[in-house]
Each structure stands twice: as C-alpha cells, then as structure tokens.
Amino acid sequence: MNVAAILKMKGREVVTSAPDASLLDIAEVLGKHGIGCVVITGAEGKVAGIVSERDIVREIARAGAKVLKDPVKTCMTKTVFTCREADTIDRLMAEMTAHRFRHMPVVERGRLIGLVSIGDVV
C-alpha cells in the first residue's frame, strides 16, 4: 500500500494556517476540527512548518500562557519531513519511528496535497 491509497480512503483535506497566526488561534483550530496538528503554509501553499498539540503544550510549560499570543512561527517545527503519493507505508512508518513524529504532509511538485498520520499507516 502507498500514500495515494491512504489519501483515496481518508481524503485530501488538510487544515492549514499562516505563520503569523497566534498559538491561541492554532489551539482553537485544533479543538474545532478535532485534529492533532496544523500545517503552516507560506507563499503559494508551500509547507513552511507544522505545529502539534504537543508543541503548544511544551511552549506553555516552558514560558506560561502568555505564549498563546505569540505567532505560531515561533514554535512550529520548521524542518518538516514530507512524503509523496508514491511512497510506501513501510517508508512512512520507518521515518515516523526514526524521527519520532506523528504527522507527515504529502507534497507533490512543491504543493501540499494531503496529510497522513501514524494512525493512517498502522
């Protein structure tokens, strides 16, 4: 099985935000959609980063609730591992396990086209 098969089953909708959105805005989006991460996109829909519930909790624990006013670009993961539709589930599981993350944007021709989670691949 490959990423294209997963996207065919689950759909291609990805919740995204701009890098200047506040952490509070992102937390509200996570709660509203019942999701674990938001992909941060820049110009032309290119992936600029990713932020998870854990990232927000870590920032609050580090510096207090005042960080909720900060832009997401201050705590998002900027080095984002991505995959393509042709990639296999085995490759994704290996990457997610080795680098300890739970979400991977799917990118084709530099554009975000989907998102897979560890739950999708197990």
Task: Give me the pLDDT at residue 43, please.
Answer: 78
Task: Give me the pLDDT at residue 19, please.
Answer: 97
Q: Which amino acid is at 57?
A: V
Residue 50 has which token pair?
Answer: 């990713």
Residue 103 has which token pair?
Answer: 């979400």
CA-CA distance, 76 to 54, in Å (whole number)? Answer: 11
Say if strands 37-41 and 47-52 run parallel, antiparallel, or are unpaired.
antiparallel
Task: Give me the pLDDT at residue 45, please.
Answer: 80
Compute the half-sphere exposure of residue 68: CA atoms within 13 Å on the CB side of its CA. 11
Q: pLDDT tens track of the chain, all 122 residues?
A: 999 999 999 999 999 999 999 999 999 999 999 999 999 998 778 999 999 999 999 999 999 999 999 999 999 999 999 999 999 999 999 999 999 999 999 999 989 999 999 999 88
Alpha helices in 11-99 (DSSP H): 23-33, 53-63, 89-99
In whole angstroms, what separates CA 40 from the centre of its chain? Answer: 7
Q: Is CATH 3.10.580.10 what the domain over 3-121 is classified as, yes or no?
A: yes
Task: Give me the pLDDT at residue 122, please.
Answer: 84
